[in-house]
Structure formats: structure tokens, C-alpha cells
A and B are shown apart, each in its own frame.
Chain A
Amino acid sequence: MAASQPGAMFIAGGTDLVPNLKRRQFDVPALISLSALSGMRLIAGDAKDGLTIGAGATLDELAHHPALNGPYRALAQACDLVSTPQVRCMGTLGGNLLVDPRCNYYNQTYSWRKAVGFCLKKDGDICLVARSSPRCWAVSSSDSAPVALALNATVVLHGVGGERRIRADDLYKDDGIDYTTKRADEVITSLHVPASKERMTSAYWKLRRRPAFDFPILGVAVALSWDDGMVQTARGALGAVGSRPVDITPFLGPLTGSRPDDRLIAEVADGADKPARPLDNTDLSHYWRKRMTRVYIERALRDACGLPPVEGRLSAQVKASSM
């Protein structure tokens, strides 16, 4: 398919790729459209048998799809919170899973970057966020990625070498430049969310300055499976706190076998923000983003447990979570 044109990139919705082309972050000899591939928009299955979602399904379709208003609700919430309605009508799930990691020193025009000095990620040789760092710290800014981890989803890739199925967790690498294990000739064709034997609930909470536009500066996805009011398994992941989505499942352990109440959820949230290490390279201060991680984990867990939001003022960044 693609391997004959070195450097060529695939285009689906184009909402991440085209702005990057215009700002000269990407410099490609050719674009290969995925819009003619058949079956890429198929959504099939249910919570009993597992759900397969074509990577070409638009975010708008997923935000309102009936298959996603039960146990997999977090995915619909995440898709519904991506950017603007226009972008959601164009952008696809596959594209959102692979959003190019973002950074204040990278997502700028060519002339801005030239004036400030180019960074490691494009045209330069040092990271402007951490100058002595040998690696790039651009931030994983996908809303659907942490949800894919929390739901323990499988990503199906097709390339020259045939089909490959990997866990969503294995799709990402902790590097702002070399951020995915997807090979250049491969395309994500679908996402498979496994069935849940028990009752399952999930939730996604997103922090950003402008609720109608922005990329996440923090995303929290959680998924709980239940048996008779007791939590059987608890999985979770954070978005936008590192160069890849961060698994917080080990920190949610105390929920297993419990009937979560206000106190337990607050305690769990207290420890679960540990792996979040936001740097000063996205919107708003990184100290505040770190503090909000605990708050948003608590809110997401309460949401998944069907408890009302925490008492006190909810910040303007919060979109009504009821669906």
C-alpha cells in the first residue's frame, strides 16, 4: 500500500494532520487517503460479546452511538469532548488515538518556532522544556487513548506484513517524537473493546481552559466492573500528563472487593495521581494541573460509581457528565 513512498502519511479526517502540514511540523511528499477503505466505519457488537469499532468512525458518530451509552460510555464521553462539533464530524477514532503529541514549543507556526529557536521535535536539537533532556517531552493529547487503556481495548493494525493485534497499552511509547509502536506502513483499522461478564461502568473527565475547543491538559478514564454492588475490577488511565497515556490501574487496587463510598474514593484518588508528572509545556500551570489530577480522578470515579459530583464549586471546565 504505502511503503513505496517513503515519508508518505495517511490521512483520514485530517484535523490533526493538515494544521501540522500548514505549520511545517510535517513535511511529506504524499498523502494517502483512507476514505475509500471499506468497512472502516463499521460499529458492531455489544457489551455481551465485545464491541468492534472501525477506526474510520467519526468522533461525532461515536459520541452519539447507542452501543456506547452503557458500559463503554467513557468512550462516547471522550469523543464528545474532543475539540469542536466541526472537528468531531471530520475527525476519526483512529486519528484521535494517534494525535501527534503536543507542546507549547512545537505547536506553533514556522516563523514562531524559528524566532524562538527550533526544538528537538522538529528542526532543532534541544528540548526547550527540559534543556538538558535527551528526549522530547511533548504531551500525549488524545482523549480516546486513556479510555482505550481503561477499557482494556485491543488495537487492530494492518500493514504490508499483514494484520497485527496489540493491546492499546502497547500502542504507545513514552517519547514525544517516537510515540507509537505503529509502523509507518501500518494503519489502525479497528479498536476492539472486550466484553464484560459482570456489569460494567466507565467514565471520562477532561480538563481544559475552553470547554468548546481545547485539547486536554488532563484526561481521566476509569472503568469498573461490578458484582452485586461490589467492585470486581477497577482500571484507569490518565491522558495529557506525559508523552503517553499513563496506566493508573495498580493504584485503583483498594477498590477491588469494596462497595466504594465517599471516603474510599477520596483515599484512592489521593494516591492515584502519583504517576502524573505534568511539565510546563501545555496550557495553564503544571502545579495546578498536578493538583487537579487528584480532583479529576475522584470525580471520574464518583461518576463511574453513580455518585453525585463532589460538594463545592465545580470548575468551569467541567461539562455536564450525565448522558
Chain B
Amino acid sequence: MSIADKVVVRLRVNGEDTAIMAPPYKTLLEVLREDLGLTGTKHGCELGECSMCGVLVDGKPFLSCLAMPLDLEGREVTTIEGMPRGRELHPLQVAFAELGAAQCGYCTPAMLLTAKALLDREPRPSREAIKDALSGVLCRCTGYLKIFEAVELAASRATRG
């Protein structure tokens, strides 16, 4: 592919401004994984059905497989790599690790980010609200129960402190 087929894509990912040259038809998922090397975002159905590729845009859950990077200029993209604060894991990550809320781990990045979006909006969600918020993310191991419990644990720790 020649440089003439590429455009400058400006993105703000995990708090850092970045610009890359990419063909304009590349999805956010492809740019994140292939151009920015952020392979924590997983590649699932590619059709917006499984939410494996979930990231946050301005704090809201988004499907990176359907998002066009050129449309996201000036917006804040958060991937799983941006979830810890420096070396410190996010409380949700700690809870997921403690309770073993990951089997194969493929849906975990999207689960964590989607749960973060929920807790940022609603610090003490009910089990129903958790189920509802995570309903779009498919766990292919069907290990949902531990995931719900881990979100509840993280929420209870955050609101207790």
C-alpha cells in the first residue's frame, strides 16, 4: 500500500495524543491492534455482536470493530492498557484476579472496561444493573457468575473506602 492511500489519523488513546498514517477504512480495532500495538483489545465477531472488542469512548462502552477512527478525533479512547493507574491495578482488575473471574480470559478486557463504565456512572449497582450493563459482552466460557461477583466486590470496596 502506498502512502497515497493513507491518511493521518489523530487519536487520543489512554490519555496520550497520537497520530498515525493508516488507510481511512481501517476500524478502530485494527488501528489499536496493528498500528498502535495495543493488543489487549480483542478481535471477536467483527460485526458488533459479541462486544469482545469493547473499549471506552468518552467513558462510554463502544465497539472498536465498528468505530471509524477518523470519526473519533478529539474524543478520549480508553483501552484495557489504560485501565491501571501506573503500576497499580484498577480495583476491578484486583477483584477479577482474586475471584478468578476469567476462564480463558478472552472477554476479560471488554468485561473490565464495560464494568468500569458502569461503576463510574453507578458506584453501587444492583445485580440486575450489572447483568444489564454487561449483557452485550459474550463470555464464551459462560463464566458470568464470577464476573458479576467480582464487579460487586470491587463496588463494595470502592464505596466502603
Listed in ascending order, the chain A residues whose CB lies under 8 Å from chain B are 11, 14-15, 18-19, 22-23, 31, 33, 35, 60, 83-87, 89-90, 212-213
Interface size on B, residues (CB 8 A): 24
In the complex the two chains form, is A84's CB within 8 Å of B135's CB?
yes
Question: Closest chain A residue to B54 by CB distance?
Answer: A86
Q: A90-B62, A90-B66 are in contact. Are A212 and B47 (CB under 8 A)?
A: no
Instruction: Mark the stretch among B12-20, B67-75, B80-88 that contacts chain A.
Output: B67-75
In the complex the two chains form, is A85's CB within 8 Å of B67's CB?
no
Q: A11-B68, A35-B71, A90-B62 are in contact. Are A84 and B51 (CB under 8 A)?
A: yes
Main secondary structure of the interface of A (DSSP, over half): mixed
Listed in ascending order, the chain B residues whose CB lies under 8 Å from chain A are 27, 46-49, 51, 54, 57, 60-63, 65-68, 70-71, 114, 132-133, 135-137
In the complex, chain A residues whose CB is within 8 Å of the CB of B137? 86
How far is the CB of A91 from the nearest CB of chain B, in Å? 9
In the complex the two chains form, is A33's CB within 8 Å of B114's CB?
no
When chains A and B are docked, how far (Å) is the Cα of A84 from the Cα of B66? 13
When chains A and B are docked, how far (Å) is the Cα of A19 from the Cα of B65? 9
In the complex the two chains form, is B133's CB within 8 Å of A85's CB?
yes
In the complex, chain A residues whose CB is within 8 Å of the CB of B70? 33
In the complex the two chains form, is B68's CB within 8 Å of A85's CB?
no
Name the 9 nearest CB pairs between A and B, nearest first: A84-B136, A212-B135, A19-B47, A18-B66, A89-B60, A86-B61, A86-B136, A35-B71, A86-B63
In the complex the two chains form, is B46's CB within 8 Å of A22's CB?
yes
6 sampled A-B residue pairs with Cβ under 8 A: A14-B71, A15-B66, A33-B68, A33-B70, A86-B136, A212-B135
